[in-house]
Structure 1
Amino acid sequence: MPSGSRVLAGVLILAWAVVYLVTQVLVTPSLGVGTTLLAGVLLTTVLTLGYPSALRGPRAARTLSRQPGADGSGSGSGRTIAAAGRSMPLRSGLTPDAARRTAQLLRPLLGGDAVAITDRERVLAFVGPGADHHHDADEPRSGPGARAIARARTVVVRGRGSLGCPEPQCPLHSAVVAPLAIGARVVGTLQVYRVHEDPPPRDLVGGLAGILSLHLELAEADRERNLAADAKLDALRAQINPHFLFNVLNTIASKARTDPEQARQLLLRLSDFFRYAVRQDGHFAEFAQEYFFVRTYLSLEQARYGDRLRVRYDIDPQVLTAHVPVLTIQPLVENAVKHGLADKVAGGTVRLKARVDPLTRTTSIEVADDGVGIPADILARITSGEFGESRAGPRPPGGLEAGVDGAAGAAAEGGVGLRNISQRLETLFKERYALQVNSTVGKGTVVELRIPLR
């Protein structure tokens, strides 16, 4: 047994003896056997990982903080592969700018003289000797790059004639070319060159190509998630009820005869409403902007319903600067008006409450009404996930959808928008949000939304 392993074995035996004395002898009453075993295993793991024994190889092999240069000597780059992976520019996608910054970052780490990154059709970046004729935007050389893409395997090349470069004065003599893939689809290559016949380490280049491929997969997932969120947002914009527009215009027309100034103010508010809904950029906005949007909507509805619609706001000033998904609160408020209060002869009150919890780092929003409520069977279908449930837990009042009889059936169009909200929240926050609905027939409905504080 090597001396390093003997020392480590002795240290582990001593550690277990200490654990036994502490947990079984010195402590009264003694701890359970499970506790002793757990403490021993944890201590063994820490000692083994922290000790450069023969079982794990020399400690320097882990850090990779030095990579051989062109002459085979170590060149202290001061950077590790792990550190480079955390800041890899390709996380934003396979673009020329990201490729150039990645090639510059990887060149001192890969033990090569020149580094190139390509997609399937062109060279995106080339850094190092040979850059004068290996131009960015050139088509990939027909040699090793094409073979790596076709075979989806790493290719090692020795000898300048095998590189496929037509330039007779090219200083490069060897290369390792590894494919970059998203899943099973090869999307480009990582090419590492040297100016002598000894190529770079194949495993190192292949491992880095694997890391780059993972970043490209994450970038693709981000892009698809953003596209899905964009589609849901567009669907919500399209969901703005044309009946709401017609009803407001009818209200304005009637006010024009009795109160021209109020009619003018309503037209301005209607313009503000649609300008915000259509032109809002991005997926997030300050709560203050969404709050203004909701107040604009409710002022238009109050002009229509008069004293039958009452509104109460309970807004924590701290929440005004928090960022929330756009077009999320207004559909909840619209549901409260249309499906909670519109069919109630005496009308009722809509309450909007918003809070920030700095301890849990969450923003909570509550929309409540004292309207007709949701029948128990429909509410059960909502909480059971029958209306578009995709994960455990209560979902939005999607029960106000097609297929429900009576007054609830008239809420089908609202349910589509609410389901889009739910799906968009899941796209934006994964499991880090909650959207719940509670309702009692004749007493009203409460919708609670909790999202991470931004």
Structure 2
Amino acid sequence: MVRRPSWAGWHRRDLGTPADRATFTTLHTASQAAPHLRAGLTRDGAVRSVRHLRTLLGTDAVALVDTATTLAWDGSGGHHAPAASGHAQPVLRDGRTLVLGPAEIACDDAACPLRAAVIVPVTSEGQVVGALAAYVPDVGASLVRAAVEVARWVSAQIELAELEASRTRAVEAELRALRAQISPHFVHNSLAAIASFVRTDPERARELLLEFADFTRYAFRRGGEFTTLADEMRNIERYLELEKARFGSRLRVQVLVAPEVLPVVVPFLCVQPLVENAVRHGLEGRSGVGKVSLGAMDDGARAHIWVEDDGAGCDPEVIRRALAGDPAGDSIGLGNVDARLRQVFGDDCGLVVETAPGAGTKVSFRVPKYAPGVRPD
């Protein structure tokens, strides 16, 4: 007879040596504080994290201050909270750890245990942005060392928050740049195509105008770093409907998308610019029919996405410059899309471009079906 392990019994066992248990407790407490500090040194984050910081230090009270005010206080002696910002001013000015004694801390309440404090700077990118203050009856060397380490850990979380904010600003700037690249080409041509139907086929003009409105609503939406492949493909259908109105029978489109990859999350506007390139380079400058193919297929743990045209092709050196971000390049958003794919999923998920003069162009990439932290907005 095989007996199943008793998980309840396992939880009752200790976690090893006292040092092991202390390490586990410290890491667990830090993990509870970290999410609240990842938005930066804000009042809400300070209020939610300060009790965990006090647990880490084991002190009677802990305060978090920024350069202007006391953000949060936890522990006894709450009447000292308004003064914490004043206590921290020398630290905020020179960035040095400060130990205060009864002359600076003691109050008229004989029952108040707070008689001393150690105050440590909290920094971000080399600048003092706040301070951590630990209040106790008496300051020892071990508390100073512990407060310095906890403040360094808080500083690391604040810096990570700033890095995330910088990354978000960079992505938003890239999307604005991409939208600026798309709009001059697409808006003029679409409106011209719609205008051509106003007298001859008003109903068709109305349908195209609605497609144009839906396309621009999606393309110029506020925020949103990621979307699903299904939403991206729906918007590409709108784009192609407008281009077919412009080129008529000269544009042939083939779409092959496996249903199982439609929920895959991709960077916003990562496929449409490739399709726009294919239409431009596949049809413009030629009098005959041009074919554009696009598809997305299951590829194990990844989705394989491609766009291909049978146009004039291109010198590979021109493509290399476009991928490097050369603003003089003729490919709409190619470097932008490549950079965002690599930033989110890694270098092996960047664009692969196959082209040569007279041989058409195929652009493809692979993205994981699931990536931690990547979800549609």
Indicate whether the TM-score tops 0.5: yes
User: Do 2:338 and 2:350's aligned partners in 1 also have CA atoms closer than 8 Å?
Assistant: no
What is the alpha-carbon distance in structure 1 between the residues aligned to residue 127 and residue 90 of structure 2? 15
Paired residue for 2:22? 64
Pick one of 52, 60, 81 that aligns with 2:26. Answer: 81
Matched, 1:326 2:296: no
Using the TM superposition, give the Cα deviation of residue 358 of structure 1 relative to its aligned residue in structure 2, in angstroms.
4.3
Bigger relative contact order, structure 1 or 2 (CA pairs below 8 A, ≥6 apart): 2
Paired residue for 2:375? none
What is the alpha-carbon distance in structure 1 between the residues aligned to residue 126 and residue 277 of structure 2? 45
Judged with a 3 Å threshold, the aligned counterparts in structure 2 of structure 1 residues 433 and 84 are, in CA distance, closer, same or farther, namely farther
What is the alpha-carbon distance in structure 1 between the residues aligned to residue 74 and residue 143 of structure 2? 18
Matched, 1:424 2:340: yes
Pick one of 363, 370, 379 that aligns with 2:310. Answer: 370
Judged with a 3 Å threshold, the aligned counterparts in structure 2 of structure 1 residues 62 and 202 are, in CA distance, closer, same or farther, namely farther
Matched, 1:124 2:71: yes
What is the alpha-carbon distance in structure 1 between the residues aligned to residue 202 and residue 63 of structure 2? 69
Paired residue for 2:138? 197
Paired residue for 1:146? 89
Using the TM superposition, give the Cα deviation of residue 306 of structure 1 relative to its aligned residue in structure 2, in angstroms.
0.9
Which structure is larger by alpha-carbon Rg, 1 or 2?
1
Using the TM superposition, give the Cα deviation of residue 373 of structure 1 relative to its aligned residue in structure 2, in angstroms.
0.7
Using the TM superposition, give the Cα deviation of residue 91 of structure 1 relative to its aligned residue in structure 2, in angstroms.
2.2
Pick one of 34, 38, 41 that aligns with 1:94. Answer: 41
- Once the two structures are superposed, the pairs formed by residues 369-448 of structure 1 within 5 Å of their partners are 369-375=309-315, 379-383=316-320, 386-387=321-322, 389=324, 402=328, 412=330, 414-415=331-332, 417-431=333-347, 433-448=349-364
Judged with a 3 Å threshold, the aligned counterparts in structure 2 of structure 1 residues 218 and 141 are, in CA distance, closer, same or farther, namely closer
| TM-score normalized by the length of structure 1 | 0.71
* Residues matched between the structures, number: 350
Judged with a 3 Å threshold, the aligned counterparts in structure 2 of structure 1 residues 356 and 222 are, in CA distance, closer, same or farther, namely farther
Paired residue for 1:40? none
What is the alpha-carbon distance in structure 2 between the residues aligned to residue 363 and residue 142 of structure 1? 57
Paired residue for 1:258? 200
Q: Which amino acid in the other structure matches residue 39 of structure 2?
A: S
Matched, 1:306 2:210: no
Using the TM superposition, give the Cα deviation of residue 95 of structure 1 relative to its aligned residue in structure 2, in angstroms.
1.0
Using the TM superposition, give the Cα deviation of residue 293 of structure 1 relative to its aligned residue in structure 2, in angstroms.
0.6
Q: Which amino acid in the other structure matches residue 380 of structure 1?
A: E
In structure 1, the residue corresponding to 2:99 is in which secondary structure?
A: strand
% identical aligned pairs: 40
User: Do 2:115 and 2:135's aligned partners in 1 also have CA atoms closer than 8 Å?
Assistant: yes
- Once the two structures are superposed, the pairs formed by residues 10-409 of structure 1 within 5 Å of their partners are 60-61=18-19, 63-64=21-22, 80-87=25-32, 88=34, 89-134=36-81, 138=82, 140-143=84-87, 145-159=88-102, 161-163=103-105, 167-169=107-109, 171-194=113-136, 196-199=137-140, 201-279=143-221, 281-359=223-301, 362-375=302-315, 379-383=316-320, 386-387=321-322, 389=324, 402=328
Structure 1 unaligned runs (5+)?
1-57, 66-78, 390-397, 403-410
What is the alpha-carbon distance in structure 2 between the residues aligned to residue 358 and residue 117 of structure 1? 48
What is the alpha-carbon distance in structure 2 between the residues aligned to residue 312 and residue 188 of structure 1? 58
Paired residue for 1:7? none
What is the alpha-carbon distance in structure 1 between the residues aligned to residue 28 and residue 281 of structure 2? 54
Offset from partner CA, 1:42-68 (integer Å, 9 cap, x none): xxxxxxxxxxxxxxxx95346535xxx
| TM-score normalized by the length of structure 2 | 0.85
User: Do 1:228 and 1:427's aligned partners in 2 also have CA atoms closer than 8 Å?
Assistant: no
Using the TM superposition, give the Cα deviation of residue 125 of structure 1 relative to its aligned residue in structure 2, in angstroms.
0.6
Using the TM superposition, give the Cα deviation of residue 122 of structure 1 relative to its aligned residue in structure 2, in angstroms.
1.1
Offset from partner CA, 1:64-99 (integer Å, 9 cap, x none): 35xxxxxxxxxxxxx622223334121221111211
Task: Quote the RMSD (CA, aligned, Å).
Answer: 2.4
Offset from partner CA, 1:155-209 (integer Å, 9 cap, x none): 22332x223x7x5325411212111111321111111111x23456111111111
Greater displacement, 184-193 / 221-230: 184-193
Using the TM superposition, give the Cα deviation of residue 355 of structure 1 relative to its aligned residue in structure 2, in angstroms.
2.4
Q: Which amino acid in the other structure matches residue 268 of structure 1?
A: L
Q: Which amino acid in the other structure matches residue 418 of structure 1?
A: L
Paired residue for 2:374? none
Offset from partner CA, 1:275-312 (integer Å, 9 cap, x none): 11112531111111111110100110011111110111
What is the alpha-carbon distance in structure 2 between the residues aligned to residue 277 and residue 344 of structure 1? 28
What is the alpha-carbon distance in structure 1 between the residues aligned to residue 350 and residue 172 of structure 2? 21
What is the alpha-carbon distance in structure 1 between the residues aligned to residue 246 and residue 197 of structure 2? 10
What is the alpha-carbon distance in structure 1 between the residues aligned to residue 195 and residue 254 of structure 2? 27
What is the alpha-carbon distance in structure 1 between the residues aligned to residue 355 and residue 348 of structure 2? 24
Using the TM superposition, give the Cα deviation of residue 233 of structure 1 relative to its aligned residue in structure 2, in angstroms.
0.8
Structure 2 unaligned runs (5+)?
1-15, 371-377
